[in-house]
A and B are shown apart, each in its own frame.
Chain A
Amino acid sequence: MPSEGPLLSARGVSKGFGAGEARVEIFRGVSLEVRSGDFLAVTGPSGCGKSTLLHLFAGLEEPDEGAVEVGGRSWTGLPPERRAALRGEAIGFVFQFHHLLPELTAEENVALPLFLADAAEEEARSAAREVLGRVGLSGKAGAFPRTLSGGERQRVAIARAVVRRPRLLLCDEPTGSLDAAHARSVFDLLSEVARERAGAAVVVTHDPEWAKRCATMKLLTPNGLTGV
């Protein structure tokens, strides 16, 4: 991936659901470039399509119009196997809810992206322990998600998202399920870890207060992204 080019590029992206008279346009004409070191917030009211936009960035959905490129490679026309490989290699994802696998320990959950990339088990576990230490959970490596608090689970999810040092960290309402005190500490941690281990980060949130804490903030409207 060329380092001087944008890590994420969206050009004239439109998305809607349904067909005919039942069709609902979510947004159109979204264009954006995210470069190395960017920490971008995308905000907007609930239901404006922020999560859908993030899915388009991650290649989980196809835009109706326009194109999305990650590290100069377009998602369009990419076969499923290569799409999965690019996603695993270039993108880390943090969801509103942690989405940890309940049968795996915190360490195994964090190591999962490395296991999926065929890393050696000990190497993967060692990297997972290192990142868990970075998010303040070195003592919880062997704990199962059900025994962790909401904040701890989200920290594990952040560790999982950055364990492969992704070029792009995509966060979908990362503090949405936490109380104010935990939300603040998790958001601070996310900002730090994103700077240390990811090329750039895009955070979608409906809360302008969290959006303001990011370096750049954009508002998603039906006609595209506007600077705030």
Chain B
Amino acid sequence: MGVVALAALLGLTLGVAALVVSLALLAGFQTHIRSRLLAETPHLTVTPAGRDAFTPADGLAEKLAALPGVVSVSPVARGRIWISISGRTAPAQAVGRAGTTGLVLDLSQARPLGAVAGDDVTVVSSRTRLSPLGPVPIAVSMAVEKVVPASTGRREPEAVLPLEAARRLFALPEGGASAYEVFLADPRRATLAARGVVDALGGGVSATTWEEANRSLVLALKLERAVLFATVFLIVIVAGLNLAATSAVLGATRAGDAAILAVLGAPPRTVARVFLAAGAGVGILGTAAGALLGTAAAVVLDATRAIPLPAHLYSLAHVPFRVDPLELGAVVVLSVLWSFAASALPARTAARRRVAEVLRAV
């Protein structure tokens, strides 16, 4: 293999490797974001249609739990609150969940209040109760259980408080819920499950999937991946053009050999195939080497946690890399196809040279 072909091979190898590593980096981050999203967001949120809340008489928890693919069903009480601490007050969206013993604040909610774990706060709801003095806002005192890192995906973070306290704050009946959060065995089937819930329970409920709840984020992630793929694939395009130049040089320097093949009885398409195979061979070799190099680099970088991240700023201790087999396949197929396309024209030109003229020159 000549120096020119070696340079083309190296260019393509590095281009494909760069593309694989970039996509692995993005896939690593996106996988982490999606897993956090799936952990934080219920796969289905079932809310009442045409009324404020579900009552125990609806028996909805049992009905939902009986549906196929449902792993768990939890009632929640959701509403708007004001959190007050040491004279500072801030509004917040809140949700009451079973199993919570105190107020869990998102970092973005805790910061303006100066609240830390252990602080006593007063939570006031927009609902009122009747007192001898007339309607007064419902208020509950509780301790801040913990402050958690900023949540992923939601437009507005939610403070979490004990379910019973939330029911009191939002004036829900005993055992009532403003929604049910459903977790599924396979979150990818959420859309199908949502349809199943509405079909099974009739028109009194509506079901929102985790993807619908985070539509803008999910779309942004997909778009980000597509844009990065297209941008970094430009490297492969340029490497492929280099391959075209190499094929053209090969066609010119080996014109004598092409002429000999023609003299020996090779038809033009056979001569073209020989040059196409030479060019595309470099393409296939470069693509394979690049895919291997990129995959190996991504695996090693991830396994050795080679790029650390400041844990107090990110929810990750290191930069994650994840090679998606489908994306890797797409890179390989597109790169090989491009190599063929880039070699086709020079191969055709080499096959169409006038044999006698070439023989006179060699």
Chain A residues at the B interface, C-beta cutoff of 8 Å: 51-52, 55, 58, 60-61, 80-81, 84-85, 87-89, 93, 95, 97, 99, 101, 112-113, 116-117, 160
A160 touches B265 (CB 8 A): no
Q: Which residue of B lies closest to A81 (CB)?
A: B267
B267 touches A51 (CB 8 A): no
Min Cβ gap A58→B in Å is 7
B260 touches A99 (CB 8 A): yes
Is there a chain A Cβ closer than 8 Å to B232's Cβ?
no
Chain B residues at the A interface, C-beta cutoff of 8 Å: 256-257, 260-270, 354-356, 359-360, 362
A80 touches B264 (CB 8 A): no
A55 touches B265 (CB 8 A): no
Instruction: Please indicate the chain B residues that have their CB under 8 angstroms from the CB of A51 in the complex.
Output: 359-360
B266 touches A116 (CB 8 A): yes
Instruction: Please indicate the chain A residues that have their CB under 8 angstroms from the CB of B269 in the complex.
Output: 81
CA–CA, A167 and B14, complex, Å: 52
Q: A97-B362, A99-B362, A116-B270 are in contact. Are A84 and B262 (CB under 8 A)?
A: yes
Q: Which residue of A lies closest to B254 (CB)?
A: A101
Q: What is the predominant secondary structure among interface residues of chain A facing chain B?
A: helix
Min Cβ gap A171→B in Å is 12
CA–CA, A45 and B18, complex, Å: 61
A55 touches B256 (CB 8 A): no
Min Cβ gap A126→B in Å is 18
Find B264's partner among A81, A88, A97 (CB 8 Å cutoff): A88
CA–CA, A108 and B270, complex, Å: 17
Instruction: Please indicate the chain A residues that have their CB under 8 angstroms from the CB of B354 in the complex.
Output: 61
B264 touches A60 (CB 8 A): no
CA–CA, A55 and B356, complex, Å: 7
CA–CA, A97 and B259, complex, Å: 13
A61 touches B356 (CB 8 A): yes
A113 touches B264 (CB 8 A): yes
Min Cβ gap B67→A in Å is 64
Min Cβ gap A19→B in Å is 16
